[in-house]
Structure 1
Amino acid sequence: MSTRIRRPDRRECERCGRVERWSDDADAWRVDDGEGDVYCIHEWDINGSFVPFEKGGA
């Protein structure tokens, strides 16, 4: 049995509400909705419900 580590494809700032999505084309995070404070020191929910580990089959 193997374990795969995944990365999130969406994140939201807990302070200003800015939403970003991962862009494979740009290999970077991109603003999703165009809202949020660009001067915010973004507080991403790193301890939330996203689970980075995925169990695989043998």
Structure 2
Amino acid sequence: MSPPWAAVAGGALIGAAVVLLLATTGRVAGISGIAAGSLRAAPGERGWRWAFLLGL
């Protein structure tokens, strides 16, 4: 895979992750807020935050 196509594929994967997050939780992917909330959020909120960050 040539470098431009690798960048396009990476961008598509990140875009798919953002769309999936919006569809499943109704939240917009603000990475800094998700990262901060992964440590300070209520226990029920931490799972999807960690899953999203690990997926990136």
TM (norm. structure 1) is: 0.26
Bigger-Rg structure (1/2): 1
Between Structure 1 and Structure 2, the one with more strand by share is 1
| RCO comparison, higher one (Cα < 8 Å, 6+) | 1
TM-score normalized with structure 2 length: 0.26
